[in-house]
Amino acid sequence: MILNTELEYKGNLFPSHIISYEKNLDTLNFTTENGVILQITVQRDSVLRFRFTTTGIFENDFSYAITKYASRGYNHLEVEEEEDKYIIITSKLKCQVNKADLRTAIYDAQTNELICEDELGFHWEESYEFGGDIVKMSKVAQEGESYYGLGDKPADVNLKGKRFENWVTDSYAYGKYTDPIYKTIPFYTALHHKKAYGIFFDNTFRSYFDFCQERRNISSFWAQGGEMNYYFIYGPDMSEVVANYTDLTGKPHQLPPLWALGYHQCKWSYYPEAKVKEITNKFRELKIPCDAIYLDIDYMEGFRCFTWSKEYFPDPKRMVKELADDGFKTIVIIDPGIKIDKEYSVFKEGLDNDYFCKRADGPYMKGKVWPGECYFPDFTNPEVREWWSNLFQELIEEIGVKGVWNDMNEPAVMDVPGKSFPDDVRHDYEGNPCSHRKAHNIYGMQMARATYQGLKKFAYPKRPFVITRAAYSGTQRYTSSWTGDNVASWEHLSIANIQAQRMCMSGFSFIGSDIGGFAEQPNGELYARWIQLGIFHPFCRTHSSGDHGDQEPWTFGKNITDVVRKFIELRYELLPYLYTAFWRYAEEGIPILKSLVLYDQLDTHTHYRSDEFICGEKILACPILEPNAKGRRMYFPTGEWYNYWTDEIVEGGQELWVDADLDSMPIFIKSGALIPKYPVQQFVGEKEIEELKLDVYFKIGKETSEVYEDAHDGYDYIKGRYSLRNFSLTGKTTELVIQQHKSGKYTTPYDTFKLQLHGLPFKIKKVIIDKVEYSFKDIQLNGNNSFIINKDFTDLHIL
């Protein structure tokens, strides 16, 4: 689009020189002689919003992405005028606006280092076909600059040298570099000279990003309509950039119920009821933990949403209850296409109330999906969302379904060019009527939002659980997501790893892949390796299309079943750790998975690493991505790491071989960490937690850890009924000190911790708990490395 040829430049128009400037509190308007206005809003000291109009008038300011809870306010704002430029100064940034051409450059306010600078800057092309502009921006790539983010792109973690398109697309069996696929998250983080900034281009039209592909020293982004409207987010830490982006576009509105972090089993499709029971019984029989079972489209009557097949599921309420009694939460799929059928109440209501999308000249948007010819609710209309949310009453309140799975919401349409709606379809867009060109990328998001509203209402006082395939920035407020129709191949295992990391870096942490691959069938080895990766993903579900054979943990023989069980058990042990990571994400916008670059951006070795990642704050994991492997080489970020299986200590800052036969995988714990563990349960809540295990990894020096708990469901935690334990560990050659600070009003069901000490370099002689001295006979010391201690201690010395 932005091409470096004379010919292509012809259509481009540019702002001319500034003729007026006005400031209104946090908003500055710069108007050029040819009628362009640049509006800069200071959201925060480190977040600036840039909007441009070429007509002298801004459109109604509305965004589906930005949350009303976004933080606003700054410590400092002053504007200086020089002969050739204006300079906007906050406590973090200096933004220069050239008087001659409206180009901007942003500097670190403290160090004056250049962070981000326009090349051509804002320019545009008029769109004769649709009216309005094709809006464009180009920036100078700084020396050594790298780029990360952009949602679900199945490319390497570092995006440098690549160009991408954003147009939410149903992408069955996509491959490495297929673009675009299911999600549009037009946000990236850039890193150069140890400093990171982010750009969020909040434009829902089809958009593009070019990271030094077209020209090696230029990054650019553009969209086929709408406004040049982007947020500049300064770090300098990458995790700050991501946290600030997540603050803008929203954190999950509540924590998931803990069971949603358990293991989920899915297939297209488990039916009839007897088959579902056979699967769930087998989990219990083989003692493989599992919390959720999914019903794909075949549970419905002729694929009509909100109906049940009388033949396959004659008594859903009874079945769902029986499953629940056995610890299984039932999750059902709901697609957007509503079957054209005058006898079908959902269709009738939609028609009577005028809730379906229409074409430009008035006819309904008719398209073929699973039920045959369908109409599609306009989820961009708040009244339609309200109606949709109420359709869930029976499913949730009456029948007892615990979660809803939104699929095909790109929206996908069969057998048509573009696999979706044509451009002319009309949408309400919250009272800003527009065509599908503008609404396409947010359609699935608004469907998931409407579904979420329903679940929230009818699952109350329990927490809702929703999963969506399509998404735009901000969708993380309402729902979890999966990476769509992947393939059972080793390459796809690596793609799943990268996509999960990338989604986390794009503000959307509640993500996982179809474990084992959706299309085709994995062999046992691939399935086992995928489970090993999957247990570290925030969302952990096996799913497959089913037309190539079975894909349950026991499908591949006893050896594989044992490996799969071992790792799912590990996930259940780690539930308090994962829940704490989720809480940090929901609270502070800190991604649950951290690519190594996000973990340590100062170490340039991390900038192109894709395989290794940090889960939560303390666990370094690296999947085995090849067949027949006995281990692999991996990079250890700086610091000291304990091999999870052997307690052997590895010094970071180097690449090393790690043994990992099929029943193992490279897992390392940061030294100084306290890792909380629950006992293995077959499902969340099976057992009352009678003791919290704390694995303590000795370190010379200091380290802090935290453990967040609450009732694991419900909303009491919002009223303060949670338990947050902050631990600080200080290790010396002959002493280990652990201090605990506890906050929150929730009383955990257990009274004691079982401390398991790893790597303690001395023999324990005595223990001092809150100033009282115990010889090791007094405490229940087990060998040299494990003992029980009251959960309320504040100060522990081990000597």
Catalytic residues: 407, 410, 485
Amino acid identity, residue 573? E
Could you give the count of Cα atoms lying within 13 Å of 650 in the half-sphere of its Cβ?
Answer: 24
Q: Which is nearer to ligand MIG, 333 or 707 (CB)?
A: 333
Distance CA 632, CA 739 (A): 37
What are the structure tokens assigned to 282, written together? 């087998």
Residues 332-361 that bind ligand MIG (CB under 6 A): 333
- Name every residue whose Cβ is closer than 8 Å to that of residue 7 and which is 6 or more positions away in sequence: none
| Least separation in angstroms between CB 153 and ligand MIG | 18
Q: Which is nearer to ligand MIG, 328 or 518 (CB)?
A: 518
Residues 488-547 that bind ligand MIG (CB under 6 A): 518, 543
Does residue 469 interact with ligand MIG by CB under 6 A? yes
Does residue 428 interact with ligand MIG by CB under 6 A? no
Kind plus residue range of the DSSP H or E element containing 448: helix 436-459
| Least separation in angstroms between CB 37 and ligand MIG | 43
Q: Which is nearer to ligand MIG, 138 or 269 (CB)?
A: 269
Q: Which is nearer to ligand MIG, 517 or 591 (CB)?
A: 517
| Least separation in angstroms between CB 288 and ligand MIG | 22
Q: Which is nearer to ligand MIG, 385 or 469 (CB)?
A: 469
- Is there a contact between 485 and 519 (Cβ–Cβ < 8 Å)? yes
Does residue 297 interact with ligand MIG by CB under 6 A? yes
Among positions 156, 210, 485, 612, the unique one binding ligand MIG when judged by CB under 6 A:
485
- Closest residue to ligand MIG: CB criterion: 268
Q: Which is nearer to ligand MIG, 489 or 752 (CB)?
A: 489
Distance CA 528, CA 562 (A): 9
SS3 109: coil
Q: Which is nearer to ligand MIG, 469 or 594 (CB)?
A: 469
| Least separation in angstroms between CB 776 and ligand MIG | 55
Q: State the CB neighbour count (10 A cutoff) for residue 142.
A: 18
Residues 543-562 that bind ligand MIG (CB under 6 A): 543
What are the structure tokens assigned to 619, written together? 């666990």
- Is there a contact between 166 and 187 (Cβ–Cβ < 8 Å)? no
Among positions 250, 257, 484, 534, the unique one binding ligand MIG when judged by CB under 6 A:
484
| Least separation in angstroms between CB 410 and ligand MIG | 10
Distance CA 179, CA 188 (A): 16
Amino acid identity, residue 516? G
Does residue 264 interact with ligand MIG by CB under 6 A? no
What are the structure tokens assigned to 763, written together? 């023999």
Does residue 268 interact with ligand MIG by CB under 6 A? yes
Among positions 202, 227, 407, 612, the unique one binding ligand MIG when judged by CB under 6 A:
407
Does residue 299 interact with ligand MIG by CB under 6 A? no
What are the structure tokens assigned to 602, written together? 């100062």
- Helix runs in 460-589, H state only: 490-505, 524-534, 558-573, 575-588
- Name every residue whose Cβ is closer than 8 Å to that of residue 727 and which is 6 or more positions away in sequence: 674, 694, 704, 705, 706, 707, 738, 739, 740
How big is the CA angle at 26 (ends 45 and 120), to the nearest 5 degrees?
75
Q: Which is nearer to ligand MIG, 332 or 769 (CB)?
A: 332
- Of 255, 198, 169, 241, nearest in space to 510 by CA: 255
SS3 245: helix
Q: What is the CA radius of gyration of the chain?
A: 27
Among positions 296, 410, 600, 703, the unique one binding ligand MIG when judged by CB under 6 A:
296
| Least separation in angstroms between CB 467 and ligand MIG | 10
- Name every residue whose Cβ is closer than 8 Å to that of residue 418 and which is 6 or more positions away in sequence: none
Kindly list the residues in this chain that would bind ligand MIG in the complex (CB under 6 A). Answer: 268, 296-297, 333, 407-408, 469, 484-485, 518, 543
